[in-house]
Structure 1
Amino acid sequence: MDLHGPLRDASDTILASRAIDGDLVAFEVIAHRHGPLMRVLAANLLGSELESDDVVQEAFISAWRHLGELNDPARIRSWLMRIVSNRALDRIRARRHHDDIDAADRASTGPSTEALVEHRMQLDAVWIALGRLPADQRRCWLLRETAGYSYAEIGETLDIPVSTVRGLLARARATLLLEMEAWR
């Protein structure tokens, strides 16, 4: 693909509109434009650059398949960021079902089985509590607490004002504090 062609300088709105109409080249320009930020987000959420490429690829496949559901082409960037964050969260959830407690118990320097079980239960409680949050609160909290995004970066990623980010984070933290009270 010639990234120096006329679409290179087109706005996200034009590119997304063309992609919705089936223009693969426009979608490739979108992928080249937003892929690096999506990789950073995925790597920060996953704690692994190795998995981030897979998650971004899955996100682009999903985005291509669901382009018709994009209501506002101008919001393509935030829509892609939501997709990649959801894919990363799915990957994290899948990980927690693969821990081998017996192998950890056999390790001489590792924590006890009881400590691992308690830690696993606490993590499960956090995920359950996060799952109960409204989607916008959950995304803000995850971007702030797991990816280390600033309020401004969260606002830009989710395409919402910083004041809204502050409110969503405050409500998410208050709810999580209540939900996790038993684990204090």
Structure 2
Amino acid sequence: MTGGDRAPGVEAADDRIVAGRAADGDATAFAVLVRRYTPMMRAYARRLLNGTADVDDVVQEAFVTAWEQLPGLEDPGKVKSWLMRITSRKAIDRTRAARPYSALDAVELPAAERSAPPRQAEARAGIAALRAALQELPQLQRECWVMREIGGSSYDEIADELQISRSTVRGLLARARKDIIVRMEQWR
């Protein structure tokens, strides 16, 4: 079989199979993971970073790390959350190295082509309000909220990543959620 013959099967395979093959050194399978998860990783990194200039670098670094560490992944079926954790670590490392705080960049969500202009304007205004609410949060609260609500990280994963206790994560998330609810009340 040639690489071109295998690609359609690999493209349609589930994460466990694709990640397993990539862990065995199959570059075609790894390319499928790159295509499959780059948009999500970019969106996640964009929310964690202060600007968009570093987003592509962080995602690229995350994939380099993933390629190197993929053979050690215990459950190939969890490759998505594993990639998101790597992306989170790379983005947080970049933020810590650059400045003592992180800010969120513009969130761009494309509206469906059939959406009416008023709905698009309302959605953009809601996103802008959420961005502003997140900007007002202290850095650790913002990082915890983004990792939990956008990245889907568990409390333990957040605690490990930010090097704080699980109870601190719970408290930070509770305060962040309360503050966001208050600030977003008009958007309910």
TM-score range, shorter chain: 0.5 to 0.7
Q: Could you give the per-residue CA deviations for residues 44-72 of structure 1, whole angstroms, max 9, x where no partner exists?
A: 00032221000000000000011122100
Provide the C-alpha distance between the structure 2 equivalents of 1:29 and 1:143, rounded to a whole number of angstroms: 30
Tell me the residue number matched to 1:58: 61
- Conserved in 2, the CA contact under 8 Å of 1:45 and 1:143? no
Provide, for residues 3-44 of structure 1, a one-character-per-residue CA deviation record: whole Å limited to 9, x for no partner.
Answer: 972211100000000001100100100110011000001010
Q: Which runs of 4+ in 1 moved over 6 A?
A: 1-4
Corresponding residue for residue 174 of structure 1: 171
**Alignment partner of 1:27 out of 4, 27, 30:** 30
Separation (CA, whole Å) in 1 of partners of 2:35 and 2:50: 23
Shift of the alpha carbon at 1:78?
A: 0.4
Task: Name the residue aligned to 2:78.
Answer: 75
Corresponding residue number in structure 2 for 1:11: 14
Distance in 1 (CA, whole Å) between partners of 2:10 and 2:38 is 16
In structure 2, relative to structure 1, the CA distance for the partners of 1:171 and 1:94 (3 Å cut) is: closer
CA contact (8 A) 2:88 2:147 kept: no
1:175/1:142 CA distance change after superposition, 3 Å: closer
Contact 1:14 1:73 (8 Å CA) reproduced: yes
Aligned to 1:39: 42
Match of 1:92 among 92, 95, 109: 95
Partners of 1:143 and 1:68 in 2: CA distance: 29
Distance 1:5 1:92 in 2: 38
Aligned mates of 1:79, 1:45 — CA distance in 2: 17
Q: For 1:78 and 1:11, locate their aligned partners in 2 and report how far apart those are by CA, in whole Å.
A: 14
How far the C-alpha of 1:174 sits from its partner, in A, is: 3.1
Letter in 1 for 2:8: G
2:143 is matched with which residue?
Answer: 142
TM superposition shift of 1:170 = 6.2
Query: C-alpha distance in 2, partners of 1:49/1:33?
Result: 21
Could you tell me how far apart the structure 2 residues matched to 1:63 and 1:148 are?
Answer: 19
Q: Which of these two proteins has the greater Rg computed from alpha carbons?
A: 1
Provide, for residues 115-146 of structure 1, a one-character-per-residue CA deviation record: whole Å limited to 9, x for no partner. Answer: xxxxxxxxxxx88xx6xxxxxxx9xx6251xx
Instruction: Give 2:169's aligned amino acid.
Output: A
TM-superposed CA distance for 1:149, in Å, is 6.1
Q: How far apart, CA to CA, are the structure 1 residues paired with 2:46 and 2:173?
A: 24
Contact residue 59 and residue 80 of structure 1 kept, 8 A = yes
TM-score by length of 1: 0.58
2:51 partner letter: S
Deviation at 1:96, TM superposition (A): 2.0
